């Protein structure tokens, strides 16, 4: 693995709240998924990597650059693609103009080749026929895809995507998975998500953040294995524990074995929940 990002001893406080607590992490080529409960610090970490937020202490090296140094930070901004959690401003811009504006900020000066690149990324996210639509008239999922389009500008070596699949319909989610899998063959993609299905479908590696630290770092199969021997399936509704109904009307139970239950193959979600100590 070629290391593209190395984070060492990262600390970030928001007011009195310690959000990143001396975090260490290295990421290389391929798709890495970042899981963690609400408020775990995922967006804070991604914002630090995308250089929109400075850590209090600790160091970041991304693509060989140090974002704490002004000249290297500017270079890194040109070379990474970032999809933030918050939607961008400028609701009166058209989809084309918004992406074009970001391309200008990325120093794509030649108008003709820049416009070609804007059309390319709009096509990547299936928004070609919405290029002339104003941002405020796009649906939530379309805005998310537009935000992804601007992150793809210039084919960046490092992509930082904060909950990229939120609001996508199933067809667009599949398209997104195909696109990101392809990008991950040659680039470094770090994406946060609450969808364990996305992790299973996309990521070679998964990192779980909890309490501002890395609670798990491994393959999706290794995360699922955390729950091995702790998952059961049963026909009757369990009286306690963490359980939910499956598509075939039975119940999947984590951590407390109900009577007459059969062992089940653990999923990534089971491993994640066990890793957080949410079950039992």
Footprint of ligand ATP (CB under 6 A): 14-15, 17, 19, 36, 38-44
What is the smallest separation between the CB atom of 54 and ligand ATP, expressed in angstroms? Answer: 12
Q: Give the pair of three-digit tokens for residue 184.
A: 């991950």
Distance in Å, CB of 15 to ligand ATP, minimum: 6
CB-based contact 252:244 (threshold 8 Å): yes
> Are the beta carbons of 138 and 146 closer than 8 angstroms?
yes
Which CB atom, from 17 or from 237, has the smaller least distance to ligand ATP? 17
Closest to ligand ATP by CB, 62 vs 121, is 62
**Residue number, 17 or 111, with CB nearest to ligand ATP:** 17
Q: Could you give the CA distance from residue 100 to residue 95 in angstroms, rounded to a whole number? A: 9
Q: Pick the closer one to ligand ATP by CB: 43 or 172.
A: 43
Taking the complex as a whole, the smallest distance from the CB of residue 214 to ligand ATP amounts, in Å, to 13
Shortest reach from residue 89's CB to ligand ATP, in Å: 17
| Closer CB to ligand ATP, 167 or 241, in the complex | 167
Torsion of CA 131, 192, 102, 111, to 10 degrees: -70
User: 55 has which bridge partners?
Assistant: none
User: What minimum distance in Å lies between the beta carbon of 202 and ligand ATP?
Assistant: 18
Residue 12 CB coordination number (10 Å)? 22
- Residue closer to ligand ATP by CB (options 17, 78) is 17
Closer residue to ligand ATP in complex, CB, 7/253:
7
Q: How far is the CB of 41 from ligand ATP (least distance, A)?
A: 4
Q: How far is the CB of 196 from ligand ATP (least distance, A)?
A: 14
């Amino acid at each position: 693995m070629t290391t593209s990002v190395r984070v060492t001893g990262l600390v970030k406080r928001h007011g009195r709240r310690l959000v990143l607590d001396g975090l260490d992490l290295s990421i290389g080529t391929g798709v890495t998924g970042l899981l963690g409960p609400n408020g775990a610090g995922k967006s804070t970490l991604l914002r630090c990597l995308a250089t929109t937020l400075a850590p209090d202490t600790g160091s970041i090296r991304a693509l060989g650059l140090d974002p704490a140094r002004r000249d290297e930070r500017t270079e890194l901004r040109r070379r990474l693609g970032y999809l933030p959690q918050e939607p961008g401003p400028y609701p009166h811009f058209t989809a084309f103009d918004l992406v074009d504006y970001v391309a200008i900020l990325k120093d794509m000066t030649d108008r003709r080749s820049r416009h070609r690149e804007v059309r390319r990324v709009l096509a990547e996210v299936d928004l070609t026929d919405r290029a002339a639509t104003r941002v405020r008239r796009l649906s939530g999922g379309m805005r998310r895809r537009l935000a992804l389009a601007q992150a793809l500008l210039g084919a960046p070596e490092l992509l930082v995507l904060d909950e990229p699949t939120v609001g996508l319909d199933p067809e667009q989610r599949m398209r997104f998975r195909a696109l990101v899998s392809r990008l991950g063959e040659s680039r470094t993609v770090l994406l946060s998500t609450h969808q364990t299905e996305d992790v299973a479908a996309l990521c070679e590696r998964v990192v779980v953040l909890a309490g501002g630290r890395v609670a798990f770092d491994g393959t999706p199969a290794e995360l699922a294995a955390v729950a091995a021997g702790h998952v059961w399936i049963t026909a009757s509704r369990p009286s306690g524990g963490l359980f939910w109904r499956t598509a075939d009307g039975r119940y999947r139970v984590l951590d407390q074995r109900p009577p007459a239950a059969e062992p089940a193959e653990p999923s990534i979600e089971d491993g994640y929940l066990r890793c957080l100590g949410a079950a039992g």
